[in-house]
Amino acid sequence: MATIINGKEVAAKVREEVRQECVRLGEMGITPGLAVIIVGDDPASRVYVNNKKKACEEVGFISEEYALPAETTQEELLALIDRLNSKPDIDGILCQLPLPKHLDEKAVIHAIDPSKDVDAFHPSNVGKIMIGDYDFLPCTPAGVMELIHSAGIEVSGKNCVVIGRSNIVGKPMAMLLLHENATVTICHSRTRNLKEICAAADILVAAVGKPKFVTADMVKDGAVVLDVGINRDENGKLCGDVDFDAVAPKASFITPVPGGVGPMTIAMLMKNTLKAATLH
Ligand code: NAD
């Protein structure tokens, strides 16, 4: 049976480190500040934004929320970002995605000052990650790496398979594993022989967005399995991309959902905001 990697515990440790560092910065007259923009009233986004605000308060950051109505225009949103870009007490700017359909997410991501881009979505930060010389790492993949490190798992030379190629999870995840000298395969919706490729992985990261997509026959005995997915099963219960009950007996390490990768994302956001404060 696999060792379960407890994301809640690791995230709490990261947040505590950030809190202590925040106290230290405070002695130098610096208080990190995060501005979170939410447009419209998507319930999931509201939960995420509330959690981010709460995490900011816990670690001692200034947190500002800008809740805009769904009918906000592109010009209004860009004007707000412009204002926050030059606001001295704001170190990080996060615009909660997805945005209402009439707004251009790409333009919004491009508008955020890269030195305040604590999500690391701006092309300049993405490019820096590519060459391995970065200020910020995207929160979810960085959280996965932190979980791997916390469990003392060696990445170098391992066969790593990432299922999913999104800009926010799959692609940067592959890059971070590559930085640590893994041999990385990225799988996606057009991949042939997915099962065989996954079954050869020493470390398997699932970021697909499909409940219980990774079944036991896709996992090698003793593999490390990291589940990024956040889905609802047929009974409306929260579940990951991995069929946890079937896969756990085969894996050496596994992350649960909830309580695995999820809590890490916000912890890494706090870490990025702290970093941003030291850059300004
Ligand atoms: P996405 O929809 O942008 O990407 C999904 C990827 O899965 C795509 O690249 C696609 O090619 C691939 N895919 C789809 N069907 C496939 C198939 N049959 N075989 C192989 N690959 C297939 O999703 P995303 O934004 O990368 O998120 C993935 C999951 O992670 C979602 O469940 C999301 O909710 C979750 N997520 C969790 C966190 C967190 O904090 N834990 C953060 C971001 C995303």
Which CATH number does the domain housing residue 83 bear?
A: 3.40.50.10860
Q: Whole-prediction pTM value?
A: 0.97
Query: Same domain for 144 and 79?
Result: no
> Average pLDDT over the chain, rounded to whole?
97
Using one digit for the tens of pLDDT, what is the confidence trace for 186-234?
A: 999 999 999 999 999 999 999 999 999 999 999 999 999 999 999 999 9
Query: Same domain for 188 and 96?
Result: no
Looking up tokens 């692609």, which residue turns up? Answer: 171
Q: Does the Cβ of 140 fall within 6 Å of ligand 1?
A: yes
Using one digit for the tens of pLDDT, what is the confidence trace for 128-170?
A: 999 999 999 999 999 999 999 999 999 999 999 999 999 999 9
Per-residue confidence (pLDDT) for residue 36, from 0 to 100:
98
SS3 211: coil
Q: Which atom of ligand 1 is nearest to the CA of 170?
A: 26
Overall number of domains in the chain: 2
Say how far apart CA 19 and CA 25 lie, in whole Å.
10
Using one digit for the tens of pLDDT, what is the confidence trace for 179-196?
A: 999 999 999 999 999 999
| C-alpha 188 – ligand 1 centre gap (Å) | 9
Query: Same domain for 149 and 102?
Result: no
Looking up tokens 């000298």, which residue turns up? Answer: 181
Query: Same domain for 109 and 146?
Result: no
Instruction: Return the CATH number at 188.
Output: 3.40.50.720
Whose CA is closest to atom 16 on ligand 1? Answer: 189
Cα-based distances in Å from 249 to 52, 98, 171, 215: 34, 36, 28, 12
265 in Cβ contact with 140 (< 8 Å):
yes
Strands 203-206 and 159-163: parallel
Q: Does the Cβ of 230 fall within 6 Å of ligand 1?
A: yes
Whose CA is closest to atom 21 on ligand 1? Answer: 188
3-state percent breakdown (helix, strand, coil) of the chain, nearest 5: 45, 15, 40
Q: Which domain holds residue 179?
A: 139-262
In a domain, 247, yes or no: yes
Q: What are phi and psi of 183, to 5 degrees?
A: -95, 115
Per-residue confidence (pLDDT) for residue 199, from 0 to 100:
98
Per-residue confidence (pLDDT) for residue 250, from 0 to 100:
98
